Amino acid sequence: MVKIFIVFIGAGFGGSLRYYVSALFYKIFPVLFPVGTLAVNFLGSFILGLLIYGLDERELLSLNMKLLLGVGFCGGFTTFSTFSLETLNLLKESQFLLAGLNIFLNVSISLFGIYTAYIITR
């Protein structure tokens, strides 16, 4: 039960920060493209990469911290459910190029984020 509470706390912080970061990006950039979601997916992937490759593989991360930060925080912070909804909405609006770009960028940027963290921690 303690582990579930740890994940719950991390997810609450991650989800709150996701809302803040997305809102900040939407204030700066036009709403034409879901750049806020793209930003948090990159950042979340990068943070998860740092946690796993920089700390966990070196046994510097306890199970509870991995649950709090990796499962909870990063799980609450990244937004692939939001990404899916935004992509479907673009498709419903016949914005096929933007929908394809959204899919390509979110997947490639997230992979780039985790790969960058992997390279940095080596």
Q: What is the pLDDT of residues 36-88, one digit of tens each?
A: 999 999 999 999 999 999 998 899 999 999 999 999 999 999 988 788 889 99
For every residue of 89-114, DSSP letters joined together read: HHHHTT-HHHHHHHHHHHHHHHHHHH
Question: Between these two residues, 103 and 56, which has the higher pLDDT value?
Answer: 103
Give the separation between CA 21 and CA 76, rounded to whole angstroms: 13
26's enclosing H/E stretch is helix 2-28
With 0.75 as the threshold, say if the pTM is over it: yes
Q: What is the pLDDT of residues 5-47, one digit of tens each?
A: 999 999 999 999 999 999 999 899 888 889 999 999 999 999 9
Give the separation between CA 43 and CA 34, rounded to whole angstroms: 15
What pLDDT is recorded for position 79?
82
Give the separation between CA 38 and CA 46, rounded to whole angstroms: 12
Give the separation between CA 60 and CA 62, rounded to whole angstroms: 7
